[in-house]
């Protein structure tokens, strides 16, 4: 089973990537050195939200606010009749991302001598493929024991069948228990008997916990066959049993730490379209909270049919935690969904290409208002999309100087909005801003207009003035012309990240513009 989310962690600057390191996972952590200048009024804008009249159609979601999901259910019950315990949501017949669901038994006094815990298990959760050190599993299920009335819990070791992961990402990273938490992932292939030797706890008073955890990436909405976990015919040392027909003595909870839903409209005189912006932050403290997993989702937006469609927004803010690791820092992500929220793709990888890169951004305190890099999403021309800004914080408390994330002027426009629209549209010599700028993981479009056919020279140079590539040195027709740069030099090699200048010469006239490449 392939996983959509894989993490690669990078530190970037406008000159290029430095101090880069990676794993087999697939988000990319990128510091906020994007630049660019937005146009606030675009003649070809087809969607524009400035949050001055609220946020019509936008929805905020707190992924940490999860109801309890363990319950007796006739769904796929063991033996084909009656009920079994099911960790799943009947409305979707499975589970969602970021869950931590536990089922705790009542207190049980174990007898002297040999003791065992047995139950039947059926599971279909995310597989192990793609996890990287220190983790070798994703979503997971394990069994724990407590001898102090549930204050502390120990994962029971050496089950039959054995755990197929020794370090689950969901427990360890997503829910911050650290590496080396074992568990089962993937498919059980139907109902199987599970057995633990718990003789070391003989004569103790214990509670048993069945624990399930999921992380971002795959869940039932992306893989419908993932129904979660079921158990039945519980037997604890012959002194306690339960067949999933009643809940007497059991406790069912969500162990996800609730971060709170902080998205709201707020006044900000300095925002691009005064006076309002949307803020993921706490008005009472002026900052944000730990353990947040906050989403802000747009209404469904239908794109026009066009060759180039751009999405961009303004942002401001800062996060306290600047650890350069995806599992130990605070960050935001910009994503889109082509299937009404079932799957989400990063703006940097809008088609979800498994070989491409998904960026997240741990913005530094303090970041003033600026434009998040415009992104070309023309591959979805004529289709309907949802857009999402996602803010995640870890267990560290944010500092007083970290205000969270402000968003304003979310807009979508066709590329023609960057062209001067008047009666003399192509009657002058002009070199337009390269798009996108900065260039991140995609080709860039250079456009220029000519009043009449002329000999043209178009070339790109690095920050030291060295020629990188000559695109044109020949006659061109009057009107609008365009050239695509694949971020390679004249030898066909990818150039390093940094600042570049593209120069257009027509006779004695010349124009030069700047572009930032993040490679």
Structure confidence at residue 326 (pLDDT): 64
Residue 183 has pLDDT above 90, yes or no: yes
Average pLDDT over residues 163-192: 96
Q: Indicate the pTM of the whole model.
A: 0.65
Structure confidence at residue 415 (pLDDT): 61
The C-alpha torsion from 299 through 341 and 42 to 278, rounded to 10°, is 60
Residue whose tokens read 């010599």? 429
User: Using CA of residue 407, residue 412, residue 415, residue 418, what is the dihedral sign?
Assistant: negative
Q: Rounded to whole angstroms, how far apart are CA atoms 4 and 156? A: 31
60-72 pLDDT, tens digit each? 999 888 899 999 9
Residue whose tokens read 């960050």? 331
Structure confidence at residue 323 (pLDDT): 65
DSSP 437-506: SSEESS-EEEEEEESS-EEEEEEEEETTS-EEEEEEEEEE-SEEEEEEE-SB-TTSPBPPSEEEEEEEEE
Q: 149 or 321, which is more confident?
A: 149
Average pLDDT over residues 106-114: 98
Average pLDDT over residues 219-233: 95
Structure confidence at residue 21 (pLDDT): 22
Q: Rounded to whole angstroms, how far apart are CA atoms 432 and 444? A: 12
pLDDT-derived band at 198 (thresholds 50, 70, 90) equals very high
Average pLDDT over residues 280-295: 91
Residue 225 has pLDDT above 90, yes or no: yes
Cα-flanking dihedrals φ and ψ of residue 417, to 5°?
A: -65, -20
Q: 128 or 418, which is more confident?
A: 128
Q: 140 or 324, which is more confident?
A: 140
Residue 14 has pLDDT above 90, yes or no: no
Mean per-residue pLDDT of the chain? 84
Q: 348 or 373, which is more confident?
A: 348
Residue 22 has pLDDT above 80, yes or no: no
Give the whole-number percent of the chain exceeding pLDDT 90: 53
Structure confidence at residue 192 (pLDDT): 98
Structure confidence at residue 419 (pLDDT): 40
Q: Are 360 and 321 in contact (CB under 8 A)?
A: no
Residues 52-59: contacts with CB under 8 Å, at least 24 apart: 52/273, 52/275, 52/276, 54/265, 55/265, 55/278, 56/299, 57/298, 57/299, 58/278, 58/296, 58/297, 58/298, 58/299, 59/296, 59/297
Residue 30 has pLDDT above 80, yes or no: no
Average pLDDT over residues 242-263: 95
> Structural domains in the chain?
34-61+267-350+360-417 (2.60.120.200), 70-254 (2.60.120.260), 422-518 (2.60.40.2550)
Residue 433 has pLDDT above 60, yes or no: yes
Structure confidence at residue 253 (pLDDT): 97
């Amino acid at each position: 089973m392939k996983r959509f989310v894989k993490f690669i962690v990078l530190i970037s600057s406008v000159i290029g990537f430095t101090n880069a390191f990676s794993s087999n996972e697939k988000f990319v952590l990128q510091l906020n050195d994007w630049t660019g200048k937005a146009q606030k009024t675009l003649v070809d804008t087809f969607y524009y939200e400035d949050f001055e009249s609220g946020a019509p159609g936008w929805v905020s979601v707190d992924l940490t606010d999860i109801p309890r999901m363990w319950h007796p259910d006739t769904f796929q019950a063991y033996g084909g009749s009656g009920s079994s315990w099911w960790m799943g949501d009947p409305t979707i017949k499975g589970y969602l991302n970021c869950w931590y669901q536990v089922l705790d038994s009542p207190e049980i006094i174990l007898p002297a001598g040999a003791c065992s815990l047995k139950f039947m298990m059926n599971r279909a959760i995310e597989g192990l493929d793609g996890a990287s050190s220190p983790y070798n599993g994703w979503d997971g299920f394990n069994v724990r024991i407590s001898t102090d009335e549930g204050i502390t819990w120990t994962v029971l070791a050496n089950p039959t069948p054995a755990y197929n992961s020794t370090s689950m990402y969901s427990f360890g990273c997503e829910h911050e228990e650290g590496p080396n938490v074992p568990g089962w992932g993937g498919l059980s292939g139907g109902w199987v008997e599970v057995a633990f030797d718990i003789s070391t706890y003989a004569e103790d008073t214990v509670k048993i916990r069945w624990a399930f955890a999921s992380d971002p990436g795959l869940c039932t909405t992306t893989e419908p066959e993932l129904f979660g976990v079921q158990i039945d015919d519980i037997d604890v040392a012959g002194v306690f049993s339960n067949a999933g027909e009643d809940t007497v003595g059991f406790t069912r909870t969500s162990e996800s730490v609730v971060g709170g839903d902080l998205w709201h409209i707020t006044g900000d005189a300095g925002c691009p379209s005064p006076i309002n912006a949307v803020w993921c932050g706490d008005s009472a403290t002026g900052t944000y909270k730990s353990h947040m997993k906050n989403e802000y989702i747009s209404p469904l937006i239908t794109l026009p049919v066009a060759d180039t469609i751009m999405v961009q927004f303004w942002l401001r803010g800062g996060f306290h935690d600047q650890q350069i690791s995806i599992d130990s820092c605070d960050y935001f992500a910009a994503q889109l969904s082509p299937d009404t929220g079932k799957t989400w793709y990063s703006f940097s990888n809008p088609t979800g290409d498994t070989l491409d890169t998904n960026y997240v951004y741990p913005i530094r305190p303090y970041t003033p208002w600026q434009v998040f890099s415009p992104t070309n999403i023309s591959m979805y021309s004529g289709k309907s999309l949802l857009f999402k800004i996602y803010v995640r914080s870890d267990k560290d408390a944010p500092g007083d100087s970290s205000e969270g994330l402000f968003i304003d002027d979310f807009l979508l426009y066709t590329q023609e909005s960057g062209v001067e629209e008047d009666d003399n549209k192509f009657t002058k010599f002009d070199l337009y801003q390269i798009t996108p700028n900065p260039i991140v993981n995609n080709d860039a479009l250079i456009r220029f207009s000519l009043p009449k056919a002329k000999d043209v020279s178009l070339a790109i140079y690095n920050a030291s003035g060295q020629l990188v590539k000559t695109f044109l040195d020949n006659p061109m027709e009057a009107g609008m012309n365009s050239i695509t740069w694949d971020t390679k030099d004249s030898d066909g090699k990818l150039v390093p990240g940094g600042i570049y200048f593209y120069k257009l010469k027509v006779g004695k006239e010349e124009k030069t513009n700047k572009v930032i490449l993040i490679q």
